[in-house]
C-alpha cells in the first residue's frame, strides 16, 4: 500500500497531512474528495469512518445506527473492515465490528432486497444466478436467434461477406453476445423491461435489426431467470431501488440506520448505484464520495460513468476536497503524470475538454512526512525510441529485465500490457529465458470460480457419495478435465480419452463417443457403491461395451481408485481434506493457492458453526463458487495481491490498478492499443467485417438510448461510432495514466509496430510522442 498501515501507526502517532486534516474535520453534509494515485484514500476514508462511528456511539449509544462504507471490490471490503476495526481498537479501545458496515454496491443491494424480498415479488429463498450460468443463458439465446434469423446483421456487413459469411461466423457470434450483454446491462440500469422497450420499438417507423435483436435476447434471458425463480447481479440494484420506493417506512428505517454513507471508488459509480445511494442519503444528506476520475478505466465495458463524481463535485463546491499528496512515486514520475493532465486538456489532437484528464495535480509529500517520495532511478522515465516489431519489443524488455534483476534483488518489477494476449506473449518470453515471473494477476474471475466449483463438486460428492447423479457430475465436471490429464502418462488409449474429453469442454457441450455413452450410464447409476466399493456385484461388469472402446475400461478403473481414496478421506478435518483434494486435481500454482485459501475459510466456518458437517460446508463452498457469497476477493480486483521482490510481475494495466512496483515497463503503447480518437487510427471495436467502419455495439447502445427516451427519429447512423472513438481514446489515456502512476522509481515505456503482415506499421500512441517531447524539453 502507499500509506502507513495501522501496524505502522502503532509505532508512531498519526499526524495528518493538511489535506487529510480537512477531510477528517468532516461533520456532515455532502463532501466530494478528489484523490490522486497513492494519496492514501483508503487510509483516510477508514479513519474518517472510525471517527464517525465513535461520534454515533457517543451521541446515541449502542443501537442499530451504522456508518455505511460502500466500495467497488470485495478485497477492498476486507481492507476497509480491517482498517476501521484496527483504528477503533487501537485508538479508542473499542470492539471492532460494531457501528459500521462495509459492502460492495451489489452486496448492499443484496442486503436491502434480502431483508424485504416480498416488496419486489421475490420468495424468501430467492436465488442469484452465478455469472457463468448467466453467460451461458445469454450465449444459448444468441446462438439460437442467429440460427433462426441468419440475416440479422446483413444490413451492416460488407458485401463480400454476405455471399460467403463463413470467415466472419465466429467473430459475429462473439460480437453479437457482447451486443446482447450491453443491451441487457443498459436496460437494467434504466429499470426498463424488455416488454416496455419492445412496445416502444414497435411504434417506430422502419426496421431496427440491432435493437430488435438485443431486445429479443433480453426478453429470452429474463424469461429464463423467471423460470429459475432467480435474479442476476444486475437485477439487485434495480430491485433494491424498487424495494425502497415500494415502502416509505422501510426506506426511512434504512436512512436512520445509515446516517453516514461513505462511497469509495466513486468514479466507477453507475446510474443505478447513483439512484440507490441518493435515496439512502436523501433525508440526512450525509454522503462522502471519494474517487479519482483519472482512474476511471472501466467505462467502455461496464455501466460505470465518471461524470457522476464530476457533477457531484461541481454541485457541492463548499465541501469539495482534494487529496493531492502522494508518496508513491519519485518526483520525475510525478512530473510525467502531471504533464499528461495538462497536455490532455490543451494539446491533445482529438479529445474535447470534457473527456480530458482532470486536476488535481499529484503533489509530493511534505518534508518530514512518514512516507517520503522514493529516490528516482537512473533514468527515472525512459521511452524506448525503437520502432520494434512485437517480437523485438519482447526481446528488448526481457533483456532489460534480466540485466536489472540481479542488481536489484530487493526491489519489485512489473511488465504491464494493455491486454491478456500480450501478457501471455510476455510470459512465454520470460519462460524461454528462465526468468522468475508471477502471472497471478492474469487469472480471470471465471477461471478462479471454475477452480472453486471443482472443489465444491468434489466436496459435495464426499459429503453424500450415495446420492445418484453425484458421480456423473464429478466425472464430467472435475475428473475428466482436471484429473485424467495428470494420469495419462504414456498410455496412448488414455491419452485418446483425454483428447476426446477436451473436445467436449465448454458449458454443457455434448461429449464425443464413447464418453457420452459412459456419462449416460453414470447418470442412471442408482447404487454408486457398486462402482466405488464393489463386493458381490461390480457395476462396470454390466457395461458390456466397455472393453471394446480403447482406453475406457482403464479410465473407469482409475476413476474408481480416485473415488475410493476421496471417500476414505472424509474422516480428515475439512481443511486437510480440501488441501488433499486440491493437490489431486490441481496442477497450477494459483489453483493450489486458491485451495489453501478455501481450506482456511472452511475451517474457520466450522469453528464458528460447530454444527456444520460436510454437507453444510459443501453448500457454503458452492455458494462461494457460484458467487452467491461474495467473499475472498473473488472478482475483478487483485485479491490482496502483494508484489514480490526479485520476481517479474506480468499483468494487464487494468489489473495493476491499486498496486505499485519499483520499476514498471509499459508495453505496446501504439496507436492501436491506445488510439487518439482521430478518424485515421484503427479501433478494435470497429469490426473488420462491418461496413463503413461502424461500431455495431455503440450503434446499438445509441438506438437503445434514443428508444428509452421515446423516439428513434433523432438517431443518426455513425454518430455513435464517432463518439465511441473519443470515449475509447479517453479511457485508454486514463489507462496509460494509471500505468505511469504504478511506478515508484523507474518507468520504461515501449511500443511495437504491430503485425507487419496484416497492416502497415503502427506509430506510437499520441501520449507516447507527447511524453517524449516533454522529456526532451527537460533535457535541453
As a whole number, mean pLDDT of residues 4-19 equals 60
User: SS3 for 468-501, per residue?
Assistant: CCHHHHHHHHHHHHHHHHHHCCCCHHHHHHHHHH
Cell of residue 284, nine digits: 440526512
As a whole number, mean pLDDT of residues 225-244 equals 91
Task: Note the pLDDT of residue 759.
Answer: 67
- Asked if the model's pLDDT at residue 326 lies above 90, the reply is yes
- Asked if the model's pLDDT at residue 37 lies above 80, the reply is yes
- Asked if the model's pLDDT at residue 13 lies above 50, the reply is yes
DSSP state of 401: H
Cell of residue 182, nine digits: 450491453
As a whole number, mean pLDDT of residues 717-727 equals 97
Which string of DSSP letters, residue by residue, matches 665-730? Answer: EE---BTTTS--SSTTS--TTS-TTBGGG--HHHHHHHHHHHHHTT--TT--TTHHHHHHHHHHHH
Task: Note the pLDDT of residue 493.
Answer: 55
Burial of 537 (0-12, 13-18, 19+ CB in 10 A): exposed
* E strands present in 555-647: none
Using alpha carbons, select from 166, 116, 174, 117 the residue that is nearest to residue 143: 174
d(CA 499, CA 645): 39
- Judged by average pLDDT, the poorest of 405-414, 450-459, 707-716 is 450-459
Phi first, then psi, for residue 629 (nearest 5°) are: -120, 110
Task: Note the pLDDT of residue 445.
Answer: 56
Q: How many helices (H) and strands (E) does the chain have?
A: 30, 14
Residue 465's pLDDT band, with cuts at 50, 70 and 90, is confident
- Asked if the model's pLDDT at residue 78 lies above 90, the reply is no
Cell of residue 440, nine digits: 497471478
pLDDT tens profile 557-601: 888 998 998 999 989 988 899 999 988 888 776 678 778 878 887
d(CA 4, CA 8): 6
Q: Is residue 268 a contact partner of residue 291, using CB atoms and an 8 Å limit? A: yes
Residues 6 or more apart whose CB falls under 8 angstroms from that of 169 comprise none
d(CA 519, CA 559): 13
d(CA 746, CA 357): 23
| Helix or strand run (H / E) with residue 402 | helix 390-407
Task: Note the pLDDT of residue 359.
Answer: 95
d(CA 311, CA 114): 32
Half-sphere exposure of 353 (CA within 13 A, CB side): 2
Task: Note the pLDDT of residue 629.
Answer: 46
Give the rounded percent of residues in the chain with a pLDDT score beyond 90: 59
Phi first, then psi, for residue 123 (nearest 5°) are: -75, 160
As a whole number, mean pLDDT of residues 607-618 equals 78
Q: What is the dihedral of CA 222, 226, 228, 231, to 10 degrees?
A: 70
Task: Note the pLDDT of residue 128.
Answer: 84
- Judged by average pLDDT, the poorest of 155-159, 498-502, 697-701 is 498-502
- Judged by average pLDDT, the poorest of 203-212, 343-352, 461-470, 626-635 is 626-635
Angle at 370 between CA 369 and CA 374, to 5 degrees: 85
Residue 516's pLDDT band, with cuts at 50, 70 and 90, is confident
| Helix or strand run (H / E) with residue 433 | none
Residue 744's pLDDT band, with cuts at 50, 70 and 90, is very high
- Asked if the model's pLDDT at residue 278 lies above 50, the reply is yes
pLDDT tens profile 409-446: 999 999 999 998 899 899 999 999 999 998 878 765 55
d(CA 394, CA 652): 15
d(CA 731, CA 647): 29
- Asked if the model's pLDDT at residue 529 lies above 70, the reply is yes
Using alpha carbons, select from 224, 217, 221, 225 the residue that is nearest to residue 145: 217
As a whole number, mean pLDDT of residues 454-458 equals 88
DSSP state of 526: S
d(CA 158, CA 618): 52
Cβ atoms < 10 Å from Cβ of 715: 18
Averaged pLDDT of the chain: 88
Which string of DSSP letters, residue by residue, matches 334-400? Answer: HHHHHHHHHHHHHT-SS--GGGS--SPPPBPPPTT-SSPPPPP-SSSEEE----B-HHHHHHHHHHH
d(CA 443, CA 433): 22
Residue 757's pLDDT band, with cuts at 50, 70 and 90, is very low
Using alpha carbons, select from 421, 441, 439, 443 the residue that is nearest to residue 430: 439
Q: How far is CA 368 from CA 5, 17, 372, 445, in A?
A: 17, 11, 7, 42
What residues pair up with 127 in beta bridges, in sequence order? 230
What residues pair up with 157 in beta bridges, in sequence order? 690
d(CA 641, CA 654): 14
Angle at 164 between CA 160 and CA 168, to 5 degrees: 85
- Angle formed by the axes of helices 515-524 and 492-503, nearest 10°: 80
As a whole number, mean pLDDT of residues 686-712 equals 95
- Asked if the model's pLDDT at residue 218 lies above 90, the reply is yes
- Judged by average pLDDT, the poorest of 92-96, 430-434, 685-689, 726-730 is 92-96
Burial of 121 (0-12, 13-18, 19+ CB in 10 A): exposed
Q: Is residue 308 a contact partner of residue 53, using CB atoms and an 8 Å limit? A: no
Task: Note the pLDDT of residue 606.
Answer: 77
165 or 246: whose pLDDT is higher? Answer: 246
Which string of DSSP letters, residue by residue, matches 205-225? Answer: SS--HHHHHHHHHHHHHHHHH
- Asked if the model's pLDDT at residue 368 lies above 50, the reply is yes
Give the rounded percent of residues in the chain with a pLDDT score beyond 70: 90
d(CA 723, CA 502): 42
Using alpha carbons, select from 384, 427, 497, 362 the residue that is nearest to residue 647: 427
35 or 638: whose pLDDT is higher? Answer: 35
What residues pair up with 291 in beta bridges, in sequence order? 34
- Judged by average pLDDT, the poorest of 567-581, 619-633, 669-683 is 619-633
- Judged by average pLDDT, the poorest of 42-46, 59-63, 142-146, 640-644 is 640-644
Amino acid at each position: 500500500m502507499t500509506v502507513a498501515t495501522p501496524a505502522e501507526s502503532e509505532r508512531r502517532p498519526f499526524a495528518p497531512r493538511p489535506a487529510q486534516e480537512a477531510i477528517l474535520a468532516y461533520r456532515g453534509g455532502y463532501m466530494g474528495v478528489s484523490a490522486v494515485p497513492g494519496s492514501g484514500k483508503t487510509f483516510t476514508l477508514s479513519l474518517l469512518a472510525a471517527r464517525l462511528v465513535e461520534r454515533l456511539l457517543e451521541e446515541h449509544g449502542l443501537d442499530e445506527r451504522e456508518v455505511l462504507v460502500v466500495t467497488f471490490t470485495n478485497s477492498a471490503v476486507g481492507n476497509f473492515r480491517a482498517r476501521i476495526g484496527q483504528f477503533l481498537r487501537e485508538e479508542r479501545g473499542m470492539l471492532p465490528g460494531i457501528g459500521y458496515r462495509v459492502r460492495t454496491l451489489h452486496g448492499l443491494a443484496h442486503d436491502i432486497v434480502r431483508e424485504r424480498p416480498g416488496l419486489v415479488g421475490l420468495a424468501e429463498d430467492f436465488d442469484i444466478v452465478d455469472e457463468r450460468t448467466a453467460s451461458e443463458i445469454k450465449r444459448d439465446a444468441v446462438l439460437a436467434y442467429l440460427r433462426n434469423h441468419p440475416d440479422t446483421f446483413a444490413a451492416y456487413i460488407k458485401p463480400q461477406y454476405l455471399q460467403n459469411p463463413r470467415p466472419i461466423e465466429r467473430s459475429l457470434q462473439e460480437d453479437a453476445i457482447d451486443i446482447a450483454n450491453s443491451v441487457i446491462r443498459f436496460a437494467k440500469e434504466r429499470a426498463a423491461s424488455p416488454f416496455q422497450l419492445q412496445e416502444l420499438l414497435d411504434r417506430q417507423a422502419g426496421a431496427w435489426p440491432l435493437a430488435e435483436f438485443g431486445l429479443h435476447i433480453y426478453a429470452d434471458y429474463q424469461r429464463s431467470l423467471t423460470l429459475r425463480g432467480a435474479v442476476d447481479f444486475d437485477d439487485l440494484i434495480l430491485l433494491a431501488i424498487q424495494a425502497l420506493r415500494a415502502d416509505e417506512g422501510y426506506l426511512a428505517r434504512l436512512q436512520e440506520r445509515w446516517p453516514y454513507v461513505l462511497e469509495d471508488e466513486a468514479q466507477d459509480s453507475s446510474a443505478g448505484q447513483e439512484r440507490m445511494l441518493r435515496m439512502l442519503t436523501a433525508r440526512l444528506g450525509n454522503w462522502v464520495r471519494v474517487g479519482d476520475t483519472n482512474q476511471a478505466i472501466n467505462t467502455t465495458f461496464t455501466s460505470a460513468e465518471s461524470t457522476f463524481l464530476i457533477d457531484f463535485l461541481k454541485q457541492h463546491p463548499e465541501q469539495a476536497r482534494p487529496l493531492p499528496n502522494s508518496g508513491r512515486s519519485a518526483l520525475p514520475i510525478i512530473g510525467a503524470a502531471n504533464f499528461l493532465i495538462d497536455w490532455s486538456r490543451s494539446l491533445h489532437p482529438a479529445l474535447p475538454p470534457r473527456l480530458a484528464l482532470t486536476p488535481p495535480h499529484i503533489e509530493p509529500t511534505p518534508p518530514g512526512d512518514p512516507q517520503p517520495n522514493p529516490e528516482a532511478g537512473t533514468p527515472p522515465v525512459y521511452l524506448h525510441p525503437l520502432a520494434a516489431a512485437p517480437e523485438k519489443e519482447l526481446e528488448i524488455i526481457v533483456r532489460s529485465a534480466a540485466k536489472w534483476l540481479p542488481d536489484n534483488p530487493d526491489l519489485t518489477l512489473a511488465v504491464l500490457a494493455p491486454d491478456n494476449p500480450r501478457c501471455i506473449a510476455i510470459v512465454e518470453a520470460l519462460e524461454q529465458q528462465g526468468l522468475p515471473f508471477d502471472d497471478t494477476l492474469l487469472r480471470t474471475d471465471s477461471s478462479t470460480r471454475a477452480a472453486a466449483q471443482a472443489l465444491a463438486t468434489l466436496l459435495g460428492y464426499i459429503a453424500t457419495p450415495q446420492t445418484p447423479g453425484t458421480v456423473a457430475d464429478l466425472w464430467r465436471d472435475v475428473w475428466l478435465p482436471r484429473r485424467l490429464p495428470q494420469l495419462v502418462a504414456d498410455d496412448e488409449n488414455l491419452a485418446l480419452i483425454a483428447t476426446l474429453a477436451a473436445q467436449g469442454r465448454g458449458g454443457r457441450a455434448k461429449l464425443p463417443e464413447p464418453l457420452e455413452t459412459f456419462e449416460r450410464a453414470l447418470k442412471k447409476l442408482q447404487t454408486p457403491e457398486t462402482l466405488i466399493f464393489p463386493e458381490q456385484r461390480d457395476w462396470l461388469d454390466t457395461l458390456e461395451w466397455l472393453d471394446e472402446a480403447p482406453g475406457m475400461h482403464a479410465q473407469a478403473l482409475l476413476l474408481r481408485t480416485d473415488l475410493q481414496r476421496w471417500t476414505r478421506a472424509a474422516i480428515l478435518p475439512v481443511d486437510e481434506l480440501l488441501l488433499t483434494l486440491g493437490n489431486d486435481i490441481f496442477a497450477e500454482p494459483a489453483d493450489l493457492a486458491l485451495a489453501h485459501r478455501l481450506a482456511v475459510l472452511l475451517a474457520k466456518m466450522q469453528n464458528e458453526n460447530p454444527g456444520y458437517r460436510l454437507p453444510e460446508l459443501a453448500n457454503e463452498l458452492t455458494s462461494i463458487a457460484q458467487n452467491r457469497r461474495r467473499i475472498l476477493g473473488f472478482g475483478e480486483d487483485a485479491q490482496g495481491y502483494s508484489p514480490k521482490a526479485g520476481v517479474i510481475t506480468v499483468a494487464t494495466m487494468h489489473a495493476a490498478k491499486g498496486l505499485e512496483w519499483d520499476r514498471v515497463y509499459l508495453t505496446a503503447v501504439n496507436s492501436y492499443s491506445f488510439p487518439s480518437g482521430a478518424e485515421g487510427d484503427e479501433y478494435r471495436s470497429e469490426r473488420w467485417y462491418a461496413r463503413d467502419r461502424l461500431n455495431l455495439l455503440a450503434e446499438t447502445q445509441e438506438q437503445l438510448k434514443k428508444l428509452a427516451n421515446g423516439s428513434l427519429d433523432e438517431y443518426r447512423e455513425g454518430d455513435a461510432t464517432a463518439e465511441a472513438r473519443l470515449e475509447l481514446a479517453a479511457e485508454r489515456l486514463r489507462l496509460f495514466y494509471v500505468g505511469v502512476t504504478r511506478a515508484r522509481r523507474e518507468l520504461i515505456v515501449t511500443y511495437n509496430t504491430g503485425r507487419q503482415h496484416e497492416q502497415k506499421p503502427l506509430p506510437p500512441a499520441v501520449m507516447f510522442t507527447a511524453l517524449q517531447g516533454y522529456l526532451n524539453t527537460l533535457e535541453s
